[in-house]
Every structure is written in structure tokens, then in C-alpha cells.
Amino acid sequence: MKDRWKILMAAPLLLLLPLHTSASPAYDDQPARHSDGHTCVGCVLVVSMIEQLAQVHNSTVQASMERLCSYLPEKLSLKTTCYLVVHLFGPDIIKLLSADRNADVVCHTLEFCKQDPGQPLCHLYPLPKEAWKLTLEKARQIVEKSPTLKYSRSGSDICSLPFLAKICQKIKLAIKNSMPFKDVDSDKYSVFPTLRGYHWRGRDCNDSNGMVYPGRRPDNWDIHQDSNCNGIWGVDPKDGIPYEKKFCEGSQPRGIILLGDSAGAHFHIPPEWITASQMSLKSFLNLPTAITDELDWPQLSGVTGFLNSTNGVKENSIYLRLRKRNHCNHRDYQNISRNGASSQNLETFIESLSRNQLLDHPAIVIYAMIGNDVCNGKNDPVPEMTTPKKLYSKVMQTLQYLNSHLPNGSHVILYGLPDGTFLWDNLHSRYHPLGQLNKDVTYAHFYSFLSCVQVSPCLGWMSSNKTLRTLTTERAEQLSNTLKKIATSEKFTNFNLFYMDFDFREITEEWKKRGGQPWQLIEPVDGFHPNEVASLLLADRFWKKVQLQWPQVLGKENPFNPQIEQVFGDQGGH
């Protein structure tokens, strides 16, 4: 745990938190160098931002640091913390950057990046012209006896610095929340948006009553209160019939539940956070919320998102479509996604799925562990990948768990794994946001830096080694075939089981037809996750395929939708 806090040291902006959570399942035993890698990436990231801000605004390094802090919001003491960190460690960074050393040199000099004996030298930018050893020696002379160096050598816990205690607490909470958790109490819904509140599952409409929550069958037709939070309750004064009975009886309401990984959680680091030329006061307004949501943005996601897309794509999430089809489904969504989730660790958090077999409506469960069974950051990733046999046995366990928790009449859809070769194919020669200003860092460089410091979220696909990329794809195909086999051969009493390919090529084609480029479907900062547009296009494909092949999964269109709107308006919103 301790190493994790070093991240903070190098990254006053906490930008490392996401890299950490995405790259490595928190429940995985990590080799020591792994966390050093995060510190190194964090340092290079932050120093690059300072350097590039100075370049963009033609200002001194000192002014550039102050500018960076001034952009941060006051919330969570982010601004104050930034100034304190700058006060403590700024002078060394100023000395080095002012002497024209780049971020790689600065971070190696201050020993946030280390070259272990026998290991390659890890760098993001092109190497300086003179020999590395000489460069480093000269730079060391500039910062002899620096407080930063003393700090980085001590290896002490950054959170022991008094002024960081408060922000550390917040981050610890966020990390704790991103870890697998076991909360089996009945009251899992919340009126708070973040910290796994209603951004992750339907908003509770009465937090003081554990028997009131989205997805349950109405209690006494909701005459007195809205027991299922769908916004429909009370009695029609004209005829004395309860509205819930009138509008929802026989409409086969159902909820949507996603079991997902970071892609399912819509993991996202906005590029404006790290792109100097676009950085402004506005860039970081969403940072505090993002920290408390583990850098995931479920409220915008393709399956369970409920906010309008922020980038003009008109497609809606699967949840919004289900709601549109039958307004009685209002608020009945759960996004059980974890950064780092895979078939092998899903069991550690599946208990947060909340469905009562006797009291609740059936659900559509989407199983979308799309990457982490083949993605890891190990030096030799192939032996660490999940084997078809292991997958089979864990998925069967998951399905048995679902069978004992889902109401009869539910549906489970297993998503296959994508072919991640599109990452390299579409990105390797493009500039990473950090390389756009000076045209010096491509995704090929960025990937190689991440794997060198051993924090790559997916060494198998984010690699210049074609053999390795092909091997990774082959394993992904084997795993997809295993899922398909399970779906066709296994039967369960409480749900029907289906399999669907995760076909990134289809959505790429669709996007091209609209005049887009494939690279625009990938998160620019991490160069790995599908972005919001991709997620919504996938949701669109999903919906159309299900509608065509298995319409029973989606249920009927509710003819009372217009009346529900008339009487209940937006049904209490989300």
C-alpha cells in the first residue's frame, strides 16, 4: 500500500491514480518495481505539463507551476495542496527545467525514475544527444543536496507530510472504493451521486427505507409510496385505480445490470488535463468528482449511462433505450464495474449486485469482461493470460451465482473479447497528447515507455512486437469461443443465456461511414480504452442485434408511455 502514496508525491494532480487503477488490479500482487513505474510515469507526466505550459505561455518555469496550481479547483483542497507541493519540490524542478533538461532527465535526476542494473533505460522523449550517463551526472550537479532527492531516497510515505493528510484521506477512500468490496447489506442504493452512488446504479428514492429501491415489484401497487422508485405511484382520482397497476401491470418491467471492467466503467482521463495548449481554469472543474468516482464516468456510459452524451453522438445508452421502451423501467440499472475486473476476480465483487429473486423484476445482465483476461503488464504477458479452461470454470461459477440471485425470466448476455490489434494499427504513428506540442511522442513511444516501467495496462496489444500482438489476439479468440460454447451448451433455470461478439470492426466501419477516423474511438490519454463514442456505438450495435435476434430480451413497448409522461413528467429524473 505504501508505495501507492509515492504516486502523490510525483503527481500533485493525482493524475496517476487512474494509471494505477487501470493498469493493475488492486487485488493483484504486484512486484516492487511496478509501483516505482507509476511514480516514474507520474513524474514525467507532471514535469511535462509544467514544461509545456511554460513553452505555450512563454513564461518561466516558476510561473508555469503557479499557473498549473491556479487552474485546480479548491475542492478537496486540490489547489492548496498543489501550492504546498510546489513550495516543497518546485525549486529543484525549476533549476533543472531552466537548464533545459527534459522531463525524462528531471525525473531520473530526482530519482522518481530509476534504471535498475541490467534493465533498459526507460524514457518517453527522444534521448538527449550526449551520452545518458554524462547528461545525468551534469544534471545531478545542479540539484545536489536537494530536498526532493532526499525525499525520494527516503522512500517514506507521502501521506505522512501533514499538509497532505487531508487529500490523502480522500484518495484512500477513492482507492478503497475501487477495490473489490464485500457489502452484502440490503441498502445498496444511494442518494449520493459519487462514491458508487447513483452514477453507478439507479437513484434511491427513500434512503431511510431499505424496502424501497429501483427494480423491485411494486408493494401494494405503490398506492402510498413509490416502492420501486420508477416515479409512478398513487391512485388515479378519476377511477380509483393505482397508477402503477394501470400503467405497468403486464408490461414486463426489467432492469439492466452490467458486470464490467474499466471499459464498462467508462474509464476516462480528459485530454485537457494534460494538454498544455488546451489547459485552462475550466479544464479541471470535473477533477474532484472524477476522483471520487475512481476516474470512471458511468453516468455517461454506453450501457447504464443516463446523461446525454457530451460529444454530440445521438445514440443512447442501453439503459435509456430500455427506459424509453417501457417507462416503468425508470432508474432500474446497476453498473457493477471495476477497474481491473476479469473473469478471475469477478467473484470478489459480484456480491454488490443487488437483486432479490422473490421481490424484484427480472434483469438483463451483460457480462463484459473484455480485456483483463488477456491484458496484463507483465514482462512476459502470455503465461499470465487466463486459459480457456480457467475461464470456463470461473464463468460457470459466476453463472451459478447469477442463477441463484436473479429472478426467474432474466437474461444473461456474455460479451466476447475484442481484437485489440486495432490499438497499435490505428495509433502507433499518431502523436500522444504529450507529444502534440513538439511532435516528439507517438503512441509507439508512449506504449514502449509504459511497458519499460512495467505499468502497461495491456502489454500484449500495446506493443511493437507483432508476434506478441497476434498471440494476444489468438488467446482472446479462444476465450471468446469458450464463452460462446458456454452460451450454447449450458442451461440455467432462472435466465436464458446468450453470447455476442465484441466486434470493434463493426463499429469502426459505422464510424467511418459517418466520416470519422478509427483512432477517434480510443481514449487519447491512455491509448487503450474505448471512449464514450465507441461505448455508445457499441450500445447501438448491441441493441440492434438483440432486437433482431432475441427480441424477448428487451420486452414489449409499453403503450402507456405517453400517459406516464403526462401524469409524472420526468418521473423524478435520475
Ligand X SMILES: *[C@@H]1O[C@H](CO)[C@@H](O)[C@H](O)[C@H]1NC(C)=O
Catalytic positions = 262
The candidate with the shortest Cα–Cα distance to 263, out of 347, 371, 181, is 371
Give whichever of 77 and 339 is closer to ligand X, judged by the CB atom. Answer: 339
**Cα–Cα dist 299/163, whole Å:** 33
266 is an interface residue for ligand X by CB under 6 A: yes
Distance CA 527, CA 514 (A): 22
Nearer to ligand X, 465 or 547 (CB): 465
Q: For ligand X, which residue of 80, 225, 289, 357 counts as binding (CB under 6 A)?
A: 225
Q: Which residues of 451-480 are buried (b: 16+ CB within 10 A; e: fewer)?
A: bbbbbbbbbbbbbeeeebbebbbebbebbb
Taking residues 443 to 482 in sequence order and writing x for each that binds ligand X by CB under 6 A, - otherwise, the string is ----------------------x-xx--x-----------
Of 82, 258, 452, 546, which lies in the binding site for ligand X, with binding defined by CB under 6 A? Answer: 258
- Host H or E run for residue 363: strand 363-368
Q: Considering the complex, what minimum distance in angstroms separates the CB of residue 241 from ligand X?
A: 21
Q: Is 409 in the site for ligand X (CB under 6 A)?
A: yes
Count the residues of the shown chain that bind ligand X, applying the rule CB under 6 A: 32
Q: Which three cell numbers stand for residue 336?
A: 457493477
Q: Work out the angle between the directed axes of helices 165-178 and 78-98 (0-180°, nearest 10).
A: 100
Nearer CB in complex with ligand X: 241/307: 307
- H or E element: which one contains 85? helix 78-98
CA distance 227 to 573: 16
Q: Is 329 in the site for ligand X (CB under 6 A)?
A: no
Q: Name the segment binding ligand X (CB under 6 A); options: 33-41, 107-115, 261-269, 352-360.
A: 261-269
Instruction: Among 88, 223, 241, 382, indicate the residue that binds ligand X (CB under 6 A).
Output: 382
| Minimum gap (Å) between residue 376 Cβ and ligand X | 12
Beta strands in 85-127 (DSSP E): none
- Residue 131 to residue 144: CA distance in whole angstroms: 20
In this complex, which beta carbon is closest to ligand X, that of residue 146 or of residue 304? 304
Q: In whole angstroms, what is the distance from residue 426 CA to residue 421 CA?
A: 9
Measured distance between the N- and C-terminal CA atoms of the chain, rounded to whole angstroms: 36
What is the nearest approach in angstroms of ligand X to the Cβ of residue 347?
19
Residue window 281-320: x/- pattern of binding to ligand X, with contact defined by CB under 6 A:
---------------xxx--xxxxx-xx------------
Report the alpha-carbon distance of residue 360 to residue 249 in Å, rounded: 14
Site residues for ligand X, window 196-215 (CB under 6 A)?
206, 208-209
Taking Cα atoms as reference points, which of 359, 336, 366 lies closest to residue 405? Answer: 359
Give the nearest distance from C-beta 327 to ligand X in angstroms: 15
Contact between 553 and ligand X by CB under 6 A: the answer reads no
**Among positions 180, 264, 371, 420, the unique one binding ligand X when judged by CB under 6 A:** 264
Convert residues 340-359 into a mask of x (bound to ligand X by CB under 6 A) and - (unbound): --------------------
Residue 160 or 465: the one with the smaller Cβ distance to ligand X is 465
Which residue's C-alpha cell is 507520474? 42
Of 151 and 306, nearer to ligand X (C-beta) is 306
Taking the C-alpha atoms of residue 540 and residue 517, their distance in angstroms, rounded to an integer, is: 18
| 20 CB burial (10 A radius; 0-12, 13-18, 19+) | buried
Any contact of residue 62 with ligand X (CB under 6 A)?
no
Angle value at C-alpha 49, between 46 and 53, nearest 5 degrees = 150
Q: Which of 337, 345, 352, 448 binds ligand X (CB under 6 A)?
A: 337
The yes or no reply on residue 530 touching ligand X (CB under 6 A) is no
- Does position 408 interact with ligand X (CB under 6 A)? The reply is yes
Report the residue from 17, 229, 265, 313 that binds ligand X according to the rule CB under 6 A. 265
CB-wise, 388 or 572, nearer to ligand X?
572
Judged by beta carbon, residue 155 or residue 569, the one nearer ligand X is 569
CA distance 11 to 44: 9
CA distances for 145 relative to 205, 232, 307, angstroms: 59, 68, 52
User: How far apart are CB 260 and ligand X at their closest, in Å?
Assistant: 5
Q: Which parts of 115-174 interact with ligand X (CB under 6 A)? A: none
Rounded to a whole number of angstroms, the minimum distance from the CB of residue 295 to ligand X is 9
Q: Is 553 within 8 Å of 413 (Cβ atoms)? A: yes
The residues that bridge with 260 in the sheet, in sequence order, are 337, 368
Find the helix packing angle between 16-23 and 2-10, rounded to 10°: 140
Between residues 152 and 571, which has the closer beta carbon with respect to ligand X?
Answer: 571
Q: Which parts of this chain interact with ligand X (CB under 6 A)?
A: 58, 206, 208-209, 225, 258, 260, 264-267, 296-298, 301-305, 307-308, 335, 337, 382, 408-409, 465, 467-468, 471, 493, 535
